[in-house]
Amino acid sequence: MSRLITRFRQQPVWIALIISLFLVLWIASGMVSGQTEGPVKEKQDALLQKVEVTTFVADNVNKEVSIYGRTEPDRMATLRAEVAAQVTEILASEGASVSAGQLLFRLDEKDLKQQVRSAQATVKQRELELQGAESLKQKGLQSEVTIAQSLANLESAKSQLIALQIMLQNTEVKAPYAGVLNTHAVEVGDYVKVGDPLATLVDLDPLVIRADVTENDIAALRKGQSAQARLVSGRQVSGQVRYIASVSNEGTNTFKIEVAVPNPEGQYLAGMSTQLVIPLEETLAVRVTPAVMSLDERGELGVKTVDADDTVHFVPINMVKSDNEGVWLSGLGHQADIITLGQGFVRDGDKVEVVRASDIVQVK
């Protein structure tokens, strides 16, 4: 041993080499240890993402179909001339409410009254001729052919009389139903031919709201269902579904519906844009602000909740309805802990540090 030590003292290079090798091994062992322990220590020291969570309690609300439509008259007719004549009198102004059978226009009668009296006299004459022929037949002095000819002459005279009476009646144009005389197409002195328009008559009681419903919602609608409507003026009206189309529109795959709104005073007008809301079945839902909703990787709408282990879960939801204070969501059960702040920084399955809101939110 002493001989080996003496030899190292005589050759100091070996001492330096051994010391250098020892230092390299010591430094290398420290680097490996650092590489192994660094990520673990870093992971242990990392802070969890803080999120604010509010507990929402569900309430029973009516699911509803909300669509946009337009108010229209129940009936609308274009009154047309049935005789060729001059307009001699207009008895109802534009925009006036008229009753069924009310006289609206008079057309020139010309000599129609005289023609009617002449036709009446001809009918009387044909009746006497038939009576005479039948009397002669009883005496054996008249043939069946003559009797038949006399009967045909009488029927022809009656037909002509009826035609003239109808023409005379048609010189007075009356309202076929109660409504509003919306527009005039003629003035006094105008000459009209058969079929020319005279005026437009609309019936606004009930007022009809027509709208298109998607194929997803049409199955939930029934005739007689109540409906609420908000006119563009801000007024709200109520009515009932009276018509549901059996065949969809080929271009849009939507179904036309009609809602009838009582309008006895005519205070609601046709041609107004309208938001129509039809309540459906009752369901459990919570009301939240749209800010808490988000989309997942598949583009599905939902909210992020946390469970008892402070783990984030993405819950798909269905929007039931909306109002001025928020939107009603179903699919969350009777109660849900929803992330209301910080949901944009966490994903489904993440562990989080939960900061509870002070109050439970229960909408009445």
Domain co-membership, 263 together with 319: no
Single-letter amino acid, residue 334: H
Residue 312, number of CB atoms within 10 A of its CB:
19
Domain co-membership, 182 together with 102: yes
Checking DSSP bridges between strand 301-306 and strand 293-295, what pairing results, if any? Answer: antiparallel
Domain co-membership, 249 together with 350: no
| pLDDT tens over the chain, length 364 residues | 555 555 555 556 566 666 667 666 766 665 544 454 555 445 444 578 888 998 898 888 878 888 999 999 999 999 999 999 999 999 999 999 999 999 999 999 999 999 999 999 999 999 999 898 888 878 777 788 888 999 999 999 999 999 999 999 999 999 999 999 999 999 999 999 999 999 999 999 999 999 999 998 898 899 999 999 999 888 999 999 999 999 999 889 999 999 999 999 889 999 999 999 998 878 888 888 888 888 888 888 889 999 988 899 999 888 887 777 788 888 888 888 999 888 888 888 899 988 887 655 555 5
Domain co-membership, 237 together with 189: no
CA nearest 348: which of 308, 297, 301? 297
Domain co-membership, 244 together with 304: no
Domain co-membership, 70 together with 207: yes
Domain boundary residue, one of 166, 200, 234 = 200
Looking at the structure of the chain, the number of domains it has is: 4
Structural domain for 290, as ranges: 49-61+283-362
Domain co-membership, 167 together with 229: no
CA 87 – CA 192 distance, rounded (Å): 7
Domain co-membership, 212 together with 277: yes
Domain co-membership, 87 together with 190: yes
Domain boundary residue, one of 200, 216, 244 = 200
Domain co-membership, 95 together with 188: yes
Contact 285, 248 (CB under 8 A): no
With 0.75 as the threshold, say if the pTM is over it: no
Q: Which residue has the tokens 């005739």?
A: 223
Checking DSSP bridges between strand 254-261 and strand 103-107, what pairing results, if any? Answer: unpaired
SS3 assignment, position 105:
strand
Dig out the tokens for 312 from the structure. Answer: 């984030």
